[in-house]
Structure 1
Amino acid sequence: MNNESFKSGFVALIGRPNVGKSTLLNQVIGQKVAIMSDKPQTTRNKIHGVYTTKNAQVIFVDTPGIHKPKHKLGEFLTKVAEKTLNEVDLILFVVNADEQIGGGDKYIIDRLKQVSKPVFLVINKIDKVHPEQLLPLIESYRNEMEFSEVIPISAMHGNNIESLLEQIINCLSEGPKYYPDDQLSDHPEHFIVAEMIREKVLQLTREEVPHSVAVTIEQMQRREGKNLIDVHATIVVERASQKGIIIGKNGTMLKEIGSRARRDIEKILGDKVFLELWVKVQEDWRNRSKLLKEFGFNEKEY
């Protein structure tokens, strides 16, 4: 391979909460590296997914959805997303095909106008609309800002993903290979395991326990002489009533969370997993700097 012809770069996925950024990242990488939920603000940290071919390596950064913050955690997440824009080589602004341009999109566009990086408009969920509906939507976005490319896709079904990847690689400059060929994410296994557990909480508890949930991994180690990994994790909530919901009647909800999470964790780790879960109340943790830091949201890093 000729090193001079190898391209690489960092690409940010930006957009309002719940436009399918994590679904797109997982579709591109071919494995779950970002958690998915139909609730907004699911992604809390910058998730890096690595896509490598013979001639290129693209490091995708899936940012938290940009929105008007309601608490300290929200302020932190918006700062993370906005800072990312200045650290990457290319930005994918992801929007929904089945929603008209709104105030939240214009809020993001105002920030994108201040960035001197190429911006692709990626219109997701095209499977939900008639093709004729796309042209006026594209026009309304183009009236707000000039985009380097406009690419309609369906992240869920994989439509037009190959074309998107080709155009991303065309836009990148020559550069080094940052990660080995078989590495799909730069996050440690502890982080991904905690995210898998949090995803199941979000999926199973619906509206009752929205985003007042954090997951910490207390212990993760291979059992001696066996192909078995012991994982001990704590699910942290803000109120006793939420703890009751997560545990469920006779512990049924917690068992279901554990059993679904264990299946995903086994796929990622490639081994059998013994997963033990506890639930703990930490009142109003999303507004307490000390606890935010303890749960991995360290403002100084950003």
Structure 2
Amino acid sequence: MRSVRKLLAAGALVLAGLQAVLAAPADVLVSTEWLEKNLNDPKLRIIEVSVNPGVYERGHVPGAVNFSWHTDLVDPVRRDIVGKENFEKLLRTAGVSTDSTVILYGDTNNWFAAWGVWVFDVYGIKNVKLLDGGRKKWEAENRPLAAVAKAPVPGNVRVVEVNDKLRARLPDVLAAAEKRSDVALVDIRSADEYQGKIFAPAGVQELAIRAGHVPGAVNVPWGEAVAADGTFKPVEELRKVYAAKGIDGSKPIITYCRIGERSSHTWFALTKLLGYEVRNYDGSWTEYGNAVGVPVTNLAGTVWGGK
């Protein structure tokens, strides 16, 4: 028995070590200090993905190009991410080449920039990093901003693969809700959204007719992954935050929110920093909460959003 315990302990240490290697923050995050020092690197491509109108135009990281989440990173006809051909064209116009290092950043705590990283991963683009703390930290530190956008020299990157394993669909989430698959569900919305007290954050337009959460999902609001300045918490602290809710990487994970942007932030933390196997459900609550025939857990007793 003692030898078995030793083997199990050794296995756990090996697993932790492998996860630590996968989760090396320097491989997926850059600091504001590092980015300012490397602004003139010819192989660096900086992309802003913000959601608030006029933010990029008011001033942006020097050399950055602007991707609109609503038009550039989604399909304008279908509710879907941008198609493969249009994404390749977008990247080439932004100056991205096969040897480029891409840095993404944005407003609202990097939610939409993290969405961008997820889309880049779906299409197999390598060497993509997130600016830790995003636009808010860059501005708070009074680092340089440019008001004039310069068109980069077109790049030569090619999109040759599509990794659908990073995406969760409604049937995947329903299977987990009905316990037909052994998948951990992480709802990263606020506690009031999770419990069904509110249908969506105040002022948003994308709504669901039902409130509550997917049965079996645990609630770990996205904000628990970040420090006061918007940077990600240290890896070991992150591991404890999620382990406290039963999320330890021992089974596949699906993250979701309302429209998929906040959940991509948690997807980044769980995948890139902790090395867990995670899919982002970009349909999220606006799809699930409007779907017919799916189970909903509503702790607040709200039945539906119509009156």
Q: TM-score per shorter chain, which class? A: under 0.3
Query: Whose strand proportion is higher, 1 or 2?
Result: 1
With normalisation by structure 2, the TM-score equals 0.25
With normalisation by structure 1, the TM-score equals 0.25
